[in-house]
């Protein structure tokens, strides 16, 4: 912690050196106002996307002195929004949106000095020990973010999503940190995740588009198991991943895992033991081997009994028996995300193969009448009510009842994929665009 000085002498009280409490965060920004959106093109300050915002949260009353970087400063008081939460924030439009209502929003600050280039804006807190979290979305910040977050003892949430022009990440992080979201905020990719991230109480970690993690020896990703008892959300999409460390399988409470837009050669299976997983998004970027895998063998899904949302985007996956054995254990599956159909399926022929596969899984595993399931059955609704499909691909054959079909009693004798779709929708409550 910084040492307090006065007249260039170290301050001493009661024979002990006095520590100086950090009260200020400073950021580099630019534009004709604060906040300024990081979006370009059709979205700008006068026509914002709609949810560009920045706000600060506190666990008790607190005032903020904001020095806007143009010689003007303002003092604002955070507004109470519930028993232990106070908030103050700004939007690009100046209008209340999302988490910022009329009580918590403050006026947009317009610069009158005709400088739209880089300036420093600082935020000084009257009670820094009450500082709980910082959030910004699509607000432009530049250069190096403040690296004094570890000086705020109760700080839990740092979200600076879509800042676009940062050159580094904060590395001095408090152990109390639970959320770290800086997705799509860097000018250039980094190749190593900061060590300090793994020495926190992290629950939500979003690093989308920030890293080139292709070199597993220097990426630091193998340290992910240091968060095994706390981490529930992990986004490493668009991070040039080529493989996953074995330590990934040690995450005990992981719920959401996004590995889309990677560069895998082999379908990774390190997550196969993550029984807590409910959302899995995985795939290659289309310009990496055309999205294909050198080894497209599906991983063992036996333990993925809680998986509800699935998106797999590899262009050369089997739609037959291998897929069948992958889907069979997914007794809680609710939706197969459209990306699977646009990338992994891709053609009517492969769609027909998929339909035949899922039809076999459902008719072999699901109950026509869930109430008829034995008392010992833990998943009486397994493989029922699944949402899947994409309107760009239509199955072969008219979607209509097959011969001898009886609603709720018999699946009949399907002659083509259209018949199979009808059975799945009518007798097993599947939801498709067909």
* DSSP per-residue string spanning 19-87: BPPP-EEEEEE-SSEES-BS--TT-BTTB--S--EEEEEESS--EEEEE-SSS-EEEEEPEEEETTEEE
CB 398 within 8 A of CB 380: no
User: Is the predicted pLDDT of residue 10 greater than 50, yes or no?
Assistant: no
How high is the pLDDT of residue 98?
80
How high is the pLDDT of residue 2?
41
Q: What would the mean pLDDT of 118-143 be, rounded to a whole number? A: 96
C-alpha 218/C-alpha 175 separation (Å) is: 23
How high is the pLDDT of residue 359?
99
Q: What would the mean pLDDT of 28-47 be, rounded to a whole number? A: 77
**CB under 8 Å to 21, separation ≥6 — which residues?**
128, 151
Between residues 16 and 252, which one has the greater pLDDT?
252
Average model confidence (pLDDT) across the chain = 92
* Residue 314 token pair: 């590899």
Locus of tokens 């159909």:
341
Q: What would the mean pLDDT of 157-180 be, rounded to a whole number? A: 95
C-alpha 163/C-alpha 157 separation (Å) is: 16
Three-state secondary structure call for residue 363: helix
Sign of dihedral through CA atoms 234, 237, 240, 241? positive
Three-state secondary structure call for residue 159: strand
Within 10 A of 402 (CB to CB), how many other CB atoms are there?
18
How high is the pLDDT of residue 97?
86
Give the residue among 360, 432, 347, 361 at the shortest CA–CA distance from 396.
Answer: 347
C-alpha 260/C-alpha 255 separation (Å) is: 16
How high is the pLDDT of residue 15?
52
CB 162 within 8 A of CB 49: no
């Amino acid at each position: 912690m910084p040492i307090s000085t006065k007249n260039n002498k170290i301050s001493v009280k009661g024979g002990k050196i006095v520590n100086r409490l950090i009260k200020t965060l400073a950021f580099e920004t630019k534009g004709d106002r604060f906040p300024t959106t990081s979006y370009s093109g059709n979205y700008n300050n006068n026509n914002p996307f709609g949810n560009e915002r920045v706000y600060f949260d506190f666990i008790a009353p607190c005032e903020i002195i904001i020095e806007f970087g143009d010689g003007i400063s303002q003092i604002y008081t955070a507004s109470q929004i519930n028993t232990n939460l106070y908030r103050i924030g700004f939007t690009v439009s100046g209008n209340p949106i999302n988490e910022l209502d009329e009580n918590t929003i403050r006026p947009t600050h317009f610069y009158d000095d005709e400088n739209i280039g880089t300036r420093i804006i600082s935020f000084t807190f009257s009670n820094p020990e009450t500082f709980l979290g910082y959030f910004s979305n699509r607000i432009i910040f530049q250069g190096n973010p403040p690296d004094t977050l570890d000086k705020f003892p109760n700080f839990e949430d740092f979200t600076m999503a879509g800042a676009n022009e940062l050159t580094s990440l904060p590395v001095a992080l408090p152990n109390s940190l639970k959320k770290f979201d800086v997705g799509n905020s860097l000018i250039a990719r980094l190749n190593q995740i900061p060590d300090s991230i793994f020495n926190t109480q992290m629950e939500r970690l979003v690093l989308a588009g920030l890293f080139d993690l292709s070199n597993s020896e220097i990426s630091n990703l193998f340290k992910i198991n240091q968060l095994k008892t706390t981490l529930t959300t992990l986004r490493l999409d668009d991070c040039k991943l080529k493989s996953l460390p074995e330590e990934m399988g040690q995450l005990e409470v992981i719920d959401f895992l996004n590995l889309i837009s990677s560069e895998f050669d082999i379908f990774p299976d390190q997550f196969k033991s993550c029984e807590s997983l409910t959302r899995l998004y995985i795939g290659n970027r289309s310009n990496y081997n055309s999205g294909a895998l050198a080894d497209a063998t599906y991983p063992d899904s036996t333990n993925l009994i809680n998986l509800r949302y699935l998106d797999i985007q590899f262009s050369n996956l089997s739609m037959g028996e291998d897929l069948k054995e992958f889907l069979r254990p997914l007794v809680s599956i609710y939706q197969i995300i459209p990306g699977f159909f646009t990338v992994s399926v891709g053609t009517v022929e492969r769609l027909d193969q998929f339909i035949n596969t899922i039809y076999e899984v459902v008719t072999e595993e699901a109950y026509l009448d869930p109430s008829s399931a034995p008392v010992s059955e833990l998943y009486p609704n397994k493989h029922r009510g699944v949402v899947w499909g994409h309107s760009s691909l239509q199955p072969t054959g008219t979607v209509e009842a097959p011969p001898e079909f009886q609603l709720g009693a018999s699946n009949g004798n399907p002659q083509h994929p259209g018949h199979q779709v009808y059975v799945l929708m009518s007798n097993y409550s599947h939801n498709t665009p067909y």
